[in-house]
Chains A and B, each alone.
Chain A
Amino acid sequence: MTVLEDAPAAGQAPAPETVPQVDFDTDPAQYRHWRYEVDGETAWVYLDVAEDGGLVPGYELKLNSYDLGVDIELYDLTQRLRFEHPEVRSVVLTSGKDSNFCAGANIRMLAQSSHPWKVNFCKFTNETRNGIEDMTANSGQTWVAALNGTAAGGGYEMALACETILLVNDRSSAVALPEVPLLGVLPGTGGLTRVTDKRHVRKDRADIFATKSEGFQGPKAVEWKLVDETVSRKQWDETVRARAAEAAQGSHRPSDAQGIALPPLRREETADSITYPNVRCELDRDARTATITVLGPEPGTVPESLDRIHALGADFWPLAMTRELDDLILRLRTNELEIGTWLVRTQGSIEGALAFERVIAEHSGSDWLVNEIRHYFKRTLKRLDVTSRSLIALIEPGSCFAGALLELALACDRQYMLEGIFEDADEEQEPAQIVLTESNFGAFPMGNGLTRLQSRFYGDDETVAELHERTGERLTGAQAEEAGLVTDAPDDIDWEDEIRILLEERASLSPDALTGMEANHRFVGPETMETRIFGRLTAWQNWIFIRPNASGAEGALRRYGTGRKADFDQKRV
């Protein structure tokens, strides 16, 4: 995040009370801030922010600075490169402006935003940066940052998500993290973390870099490993092209494949519901809960061949369902702040879910599309993992928590499974069952690098190994409880009371304490760059955001650009 030279108008109220409902739908024809061109195996991605294109009134997006709207387009763009462009093997990220690469997150936007808005914005941008790294690692699309001008704050953080960073050597362009010296906050979109953890910059140098507002130009930046290479203007285009070609080498992407289109989602909204073909969500505003139901595939609809999968494209159930779930998570997270508890359900046939599992397992190693779908579902589960809502899985008769779908339940803070059936149900029911498959043992790792089962049974590999032996077994409530896979398995008589009391009790607890507690419980064990970004960097950043030294009337964030210095409370805490 960073730096804008224009000051907030004097006396302007900082936080507009009416925050818009955020929509994540977009497509290249609607982009205002990005464009991309595919040239052979390289995609050229240009950041070219429209100054008057802010998502919320009250600020201008000068100097290629960004807000949530800019990042929503970037996210869409990454998804299109993955799915619509199998031929792309490297991605060059550069600026569409002559003067600079990117000045980071817009400061006036930050200064006027409420705390939840800032937090949601940072979380989403972080997820997109992580997604870019995931593309390099798992999609055969390696990102190269071509910094044709200064990259400051969030601009440099965007570059840090790329595999290679080139900086033009023109005696003025620099990379910088000016958040601490100028704004009194952190480079919170992974900046501090990636400088040390990914680029291996020594900590004393990182300290200097992160407190030096003007940053470093090419040669010094190379010396300190902040960028990989610095290139004169004369040789710039040629070098970037060469690095893009090198990055494309070794990609497992096919050369002759057809992409699939990502058409707009079919979504119906009412005041209290969001409905997609494969995902339903009902909001209970009094109880402050959302019930999310993922509809499983029909058993007879599993495609018999890869060709058929490609022909189905975005209608292939796993992809369709994941897109809808992804969209729903983002919407609820951003637009429904007071819906504190999400109940996660599935509905459908276990046979169907297992049939799709088998197709995915068979082809995800060899087919680019199936591989993409698997990683997309992985990232969507990760979104759940870092969602600051209480997640409760309800496993009832007619549900299909098998394999990959079981991960949805395992991502939850608690799992309740009905033992037996609802005795007064209208239709005849089979008791609820869950099924472990190979998917639960490595296909969808969490941010901490562990599977959800490893996280659940942290330090108890034996249990995980025993569960591995039980893949394919249909487990009833009592068996699942015995196996430690669900929190509790009340029967018909207890179910309603148990769930009602649980939810009411949950709703009475401090939302902040719950967020902190859940995040602690979900991410056990080892630290990775991802957990450090979401756990450590973000937690500190969010603390700093609410401190008067940043967001008070005399704090650095609010005073920035007024010509007046911040007035700090000097006590170290």
Chain B
Amino acid sequence: MSATPPRAPAAAPKDVEARQPAPTPVAFPPAALKDECEAILSRYPTRQAALIPILLLAQGHYDNWVSPEVEAGVAEYIGVSDSHVRGVLSFYSMFNLKPAGKHEVWVCRTLTCWLRGAAKLRDTALEKAQAERAGVVGEDGKFLVKNMECLGLCEVAPAVFVDGVAHTNVTNEKLVELMDACE
């Protein structure tokens, strides 16, 4: 019994977006990652501190992207709310929140690279990937081109990463060559 009379639930106002149903968390960690996850956790003073390495591990395991279900599973495993995990995932460019391509091309768009022709590199990459814009997987699903902030290679700009490998002083021709080499 409460002294506060129950209030009629606020009618769902038309202008407020409907709530999306909550995703069903995956059982994390899957057997294949169990040992590695535990090893990572043992390196940090708190579970929360291990969030980024564990997310990287999870992304690698689940087809190079973190779905809402994986996000929720990791959140439960670490013991934080999934909004917190979303905050971390959406902050760092190396995480993919949508299905990724088979290969990833990162083009630096910070000042030094930009001055040394990175804009052209990005256009070339997008054209080869048949993608509309950076961050969207191309039509054939082969490439995901991403804009990145300074990759720490300004002295050998422009810099490009292809599948995690750094390439420097990249020219248009070299980029085409690199992308052609991808299976």
Tell me whether A and B are bound partners: no
Residues of A within 8 A of B (CB): none
